[in-house]
Structure 1
Amino acid sequence: MGVLRNGLNWYAKISRCGAKPIPPYEHVVQIGDPILRRVCEPVPQNEIKNEKTIKIINKLHYVVDKYNSLGMSAPQIGINSRIFVMKYTAKQVACVPPEIIRQRDIKIVPFTVFINPTLKVVDYKKVIYPEACESVKSFVADVARYNEVEIKGYNAEGEAVSERFKGWSARIAQHEMDHLDGKLYTDIMDRKSLSCSCWEEVNLSRGKINIPFTPE
């Protein structure tokens, strides 16, 4: 009963913080939110360039930059639409050790929008590397992904596009495609490899550590 009572008090505090936000959010939803488990609906062809879709894309752009992330899907900001964005900037690549860049085949990816994307596997070889997600905050696990894929869909201008991604960019694309199908990397991870990404800090701080769900 104590847990339930404390839970109710916590929810009461949240409810007093103001009006409930309306999607598309400026934050990333977390595992447990039902939106992450829904298969997203395609964007109707005649709505690809309308104001609603443009708003979603602009918010995805804002959030992926805010979190310094490599990709972001519509359900992660509360929208049940088949849209995702991805990027890997030169500044982000520069923060990665050269040996990791070579090993994981990391390359710069310009900001890219996919609406109603489909995925085709080009290279069925699977590679295993640690993977994280802004919707599974502060955890990481080993995940096997195909080495090369092709993504087809529409860009923000409503033009048909087709891109091939290899190495780490292929991993990003597959990760975001999974989101559109209601899947998380935790569904396909090596379960024994799951770890808290800040476990050392927890020990060093004697457990007195706060994990922010939005960037400082």
Structure 2
Amino acid sequence: MTFPLSPPTPYSAAQIRDTVQMLLASPVLPPVVQAGHPVLRQHAAPYDGQLGDGELKQLIQRMREVMHNAPGVGLAAPQLGIPLQVAVLEDKFDTDPDVAELRDRRPLDFFAILNPRYTGLGAAVASFYEGCLSVHGLQAVVSRYRDVRLDYETADGSSASAEYRGWQARIVQHETDHLHGILYLDKAELRSIACNEEYSARWAEPGIVQAQEALGFLSDDRTGLRAGPE
């Protein structure tokens, strides 16, 4: 599936740094920017030294705090109003064993990614409900690559790459998409969209079969896993 190219952020390096400094100077955690804000629909600026080393470390720490407070398993800088290609990821939530097995969900240690790119490994995709801290109150089924390779830079400027599968791959794709102006709803099965209350009451099972049958989407997929292009 292809998407229109998001416009590049109009922020200059100086404006990005000013925004970060204001955020870091605040004594309270910033709110998570919600859908409709232009920053979520812009291609964030690649990180190329707009911040001092200390500022970058402080920003990553503040993003981690916001992610934990939300709570969530990832957060991209645009979600704090900062159009910069920086994101943090971590998944240490306790998960029911049956859910973890079906979704291939394993703990993910905290790390930060700069200027990330992912590539699908093979044609297999997994289809599950997911949500977003920037789309308050909704859940929807998204088909994503089951396995990906992630290439990125670390906070110290090193190049890195790693392969992820299952739920970890889903988190990697979700956060990287944010940096390119893509929200998960762009890739969602629109007939699956549910408010949190309906999702909790009806569709909060490990897989998606019941929702699929009742709401009428992904008619070729009975298991939450399928082969084919995204």
Q: TM-score range by the shorter chain?
A: 0.7 to 0.9
Q: Which residue of 1 aligns with 2:85?
A: 82
CA change 1:200–1:145 in 2 (3 A) is closer
Structure 2: state its 5+ residue gaps.
1-20, 202-230
Q: Which residue of 2 aligns with 1:17?
A: none
SS in 2 for 1:198: helix
> 2:157 and 2:44 mapped to 1: Cα distance?
19
Across the aligned residues of Structure 1 and Structure 2, the Cα RMSD in angstroms comes to 2.1
> 1:200 and 1:145 mapped to 2: Cα distance?
20
Q: Which residue of 1 aligns with 2:126?
A: 127
Structure 1: 4+ residue segments shifted above 6 A: none
Aligned residue pairs: how many?
A: 177
1:158 offset after TM fit, Å? 2.0
Q: Which residue of 1 aligns with 2:67?
A: 64
Asked whether the 8 Å contact 1:115–1:155 carries over to 2, the reply is yes
TM-score (norm 2): 0.72
1:56 offset after TM fit, Å? 2.1
1:157 offset after TM fit, Å? 2.2
TM-score (norm 1): 0.76
Q: Which residue of 2 aligns with 1:26?
A: 30
1:132 offset after TM fit, Å? 0.3
Q: Which residue of 2 aligns with 1:193?
A: 192
1:163 offset after TM fit, Å? 1.6
Larger Rg: 1
CA change 1:84–1:118 in 2 (3 A) is same
What does 1:110-189 align with in structure 2 at a 5 Å threshold? Answer: 110-189=109-188
Asked whether the 8 Å contact 2:139–2:199 carries over to 1, the reply is no
Structure 1: state its 5+ residue gaps.
1-20, 203-216
